[in-house]
Chain A
Amino acid sequence: MSEKIVLSVENLTVSFDGFKAVNDLNLYVEQNELRVIIGPNGAGKTTLLDLICGRTRATGGSIRFKDDELTRMPEYERVRRGIGRKFQTPSIYENLTVFENLEVSYPRGRTVFGSLFFRRDQLLLDRIEEVARLIYLDERLDDPAELLSHGQKQWLEIGMLLMQDPELLMLDEPVAGMSVSERQKTAELLTRICENRSVIVIEHDMDFVKRIAHRVTVLHQGKLLAEGSMEHVQADPKVVEVYLGH
């Protein structure tokens, strides 16, 4: 894979009252790559995603997405440049229907007045139908989202991100709390959606990681510990040390 680099994180640091949650980190993600980030608890995985999407401000370093420097950009601008973020616990609008959840995430009518005068058109309906089929929810469009199962809520949130057609999709533990068959379906979903975009996934389930990852990054105490294919990383003595303890 010698494709174009989409995201380059360089010397990224964030400190909370002196504690460096992410420490001088470098990370490069290529086009159409599915990257999985693993690491023990407190390694700074979620914080890294927070930094990229703007939920947390960096103390130092740079985050470049295509040609734009992100570190000073407001969150919504980053989203509009093509970054999508799924949160760890499913974050959907339980009081809206599945259809409305997807509609609200559609990247048109994003300003106040744009949303007031937004009209549903065939393009939107087609897109919703397409995404709904992808996330296995095409039969549930008229149901309130609060009636979905936990796994379906996870899918719905992924679907909401797909509505935005992001170039970089970041998923924080997408299969947490899912059954075996749901995991299977999610793995299929992820391989299908990274065909025309880059995806970063945080995951603990090693079997799942093995199934989906193109490359794996291991974080430990806010620093990069190892990077490469799953086999390569698993063979690394430093990684074994961190995971198996002292």
Chain B
Amino acid sequence: MDGMSFSEFGSVLIMQGFNGLSVFSVLLLMALGLAIIFGQMGVINMAHGEFLTIGAYTTYLLSVLSTQYAPWFENYYFIAAIIVGFGVAFVIGWLVEWLMIRHLYKRPLDSLLATWGLSLIMQQTFRSTFGPKEVSATLPSWLMGSYQPKEGIDIPLNGLFVMALTLALTCAVAALMYYSRWGLKVRATVQNRAMAGAVGIDTAKVDRMTFALGCGIAGVAGAAFTTIGSTGPTAGSLYIVDTFLVVVFGGAQSLLGTIASAFSIAQTNSTLEFFMTGSMAKVITLTTIIGILLLRPEGLFRLRVRK
């Protein structure tokens, strides 16, 4: 790094750090959905990445449609895409739970294999529908450009937007899980299914809604994803291992843990990328997480409980 002044080096570090924040946002949105499904229901959804892809393709479709048929909508379609992306992923998640997942609650390892099969089918469906080539949505003009707080530092607006979106959604999920009546039902079902059923909670419905909600959030992650990368049939599956590690590392049932772990993983990776090749950065990040998990298998946060 010769020839680079200290302040230049600082700027690069800040921008690299900000890059990490965009990745963090997508990772966190993915992990939120997965943490709800895995942490609350104990189901491993290997097709979770494909729900991100659904959200991303939905955004792309809306982008293309609005460019072609409703140019006045071009500036607003992205907001619609977030909502529609959530809706589509939610409905498909609902169907998947009904057709498949609910039969496998007692066999978590098998649900893992079955959802892997589902992810293959979904990937091929994307490939047959949208073609193998990657596509990108056109960003609305208000998301282009960047914010320059100071000479040499460029912070892209889309990154800021995605972060704001992530923040809002995280708060919404936290509120839903911890302060709403529905969240209470979910937590009751998780702790004691039989008892929850006995006091009149429709546990099957709670499961289905929880699963669908997790998938819906992945759909929103997909919309956010289009602002930082282009979408291909396997876009989501590239995130699945990272996302699982985020959830496990964060301690599966702790929302705070999920946020902290998404942050540390994304930041470690993006900081290391500055010093070495992308693949080595990834290897070192993943190895570190595995190493820590071997020493501390319960993840970052976990309460000491009976049994």
Interface residues in A9-49 (C-beta closer than 8 Å to B): 16-17, 21, 47
Chain A residues with CB below 8 A from B303, complex form: 17
Taking the complex as formed, is A196 at the interface, i.e. its CB lies under 8 A from any CB of chain B? no
Chain B residues with CB below 8 A from A56, complex form: 306-307
Most buried by B among A16, A47, A55: A16
Chain B residues with CB below 8 A from A17, complex form: 303-305
Interface residues in B278-307 (C-beta closer than 8 Å to A): 303-307
Chain B contact residues (Cβ within 8 angstroms of A): what range? under 10
Give Cα A56 to B304, complex, Å: 11
Chain A residues with CB below 8 A from B305, complex form: 16-17
Most buried by A among B303, B305, B307: B307
- Shortest distance in angstroms between B254's beta carbon and chain A's nearest beta carbon? 14
A76-97 to B contact mask, C-beta < 8 Å, 1/0: 0000000000000000000000
- Shortest distance in angstroms between A51's beta carbon and chain B's nearest beta carbon? 11
- Shortest distance in angstroms between B221's beta carbon and chain A's nearest beta carbon? 33
A126-153 to B contact mask, C-beta < 8 Å, 1/0: 0000000000000000000000000000
Chain A contact residues (Cβ within 8 angstroms of B): what range? under 10
- Shortest distance in angstroms between A75's beta carbon and chain B's nearest beta carbon? 14
Give Cα A21 to B306, complex, Å: 9
Give Cα A56 to B307, complex, Å: 7
Chain A residues with CB below 8 A from B306, complex form: 16, 21, 47, 56
Give Cα A16 to B306, complex, Å: 7
Nearest A-chain residue to B305, judged by Cβ: A16
Give Cα A16 to B304, complex, Å: 6
- Shortest distance in angstroms between A49's beta carbon and chain B's nearest beta carbon? 13
Chain B residues with CB below 8 A from A16, complex form: 304-306
- Shortest distance in angstroms between B106's beta carbon and chain A's nearest beta carbon? 14
Chain A residues with CB below 8 A from B304, complex form: 16-17
Give Cα A21 to B307, complex, Å: 12
Give Cα A56 to B306, complex, Å: 8
- Shortest distance in angstroms between B298's beta carbon and chain A's nearest beta carbon? 14
Chain B residues with CB below 8 A from A21, complex form: 306
Chain A residues with CB below 8 A from B307, complex form: 55-56
Nearest B-chain residue to A19, judged by Cβ: B306
Most buried by A among B303, B305, B306: B306
Give Cα A62 to B179, complex, Å: 42
- Shortest distance in angstroms between A20's beta carbon and chain B's nearest beta carbon? 12
Nearest B-chain residue to A14, judged by Cβ: B306
Chain B residues with CB below 8 A from A47, complex form: 306
Give Cα A47 to B305, complex, Å: 12
Nearest B-chain residue to A47, judged by Cβ: B306
Give Cα A17 to B304, complex, Å: 6
Give Cα A16 to B302, complex, Å: 12
Most buried by A among B303, B304, B305: B304
Give Cα A55 to B164, complex, Å: 46
Give Cα A10 to B305, complex, Å: 23
Give Cα A55 to B306, complex, Å: 10
Give Cα A16 to B307, complex, Å: 10
Give Cα A17 to B307, complex, Å: 13
Nearest A-chain residue to B303, judged by Cβ: A17
Give Cα A55 to B307, complex, Å: 8
- Shortest distance in angstroms between B303's beta carbon and chain A's nearest beta carbon? 6
Give Cα A47 to B307, complex, Å: 9
- Shortest distance in angstroms between A146's beta carbon and chain B's nearest beta carbon? 16
- Shortest distance in angstroms between B52's beta carbon and chain A's nearest beta carbon? 36
Interface residues in A46-69 (C-beta closer than 8 Å to B): 47, 55-56
Interface residues in B78-104 (C-beta closer than 8 Å to A): none
Give Cα A212 to B304, complex, Å: 36
Nearest B-chain residue to A21, judged by Cβ: B306
Nearest A-chain residue to B306, judged by Cβ: A16
Give Cα A17 to B305, complex, Å: 7
Give Cα A206 to B241, complex, Å: 55
Give Cα A16 to B303, complex, Å: 9
Give Cα A47 to B304, complex, Å: 14
- Shortest distance in angstroms between B107's beta carbon and chain A's nearest beta carbon? 15
- Shortest distance in angstroms between B124's beta carbon and chain A's nearest beta carbon? 38
- Shortest distance in angstroms between B73's beta carbon and chain A's nearest beta carbon? 53
- Shortest distance in angstroms between B279's beta carbon and chain A's nearest beta carbon? 38
The 10 closest A-B pairs by CB, nearest first: A16-B306, A16-B304, A17-B303, A16-B305, A17-B304, A21-B306, A47-B306, A56-B306, A17-B305, A56-B307
- A16-B305, A17-B303, A17-B304 known; 6 new pairs, CB 8 Å cut-off, are A16-B304, A16-B306, A17-B305, A21-B306, A55-B307, A56-B307
**Which residues of A does B touch, CB under 8 Å?**
16-17, 21, 47, 55-56
11 contacts between A and B (CB under 8 A): A16-B304, A16-B305, A16-B306, A17-B303, A17-B304, A17-B305, A21-B306, A47-B306, A55-B307, A56-B306, A56-B307
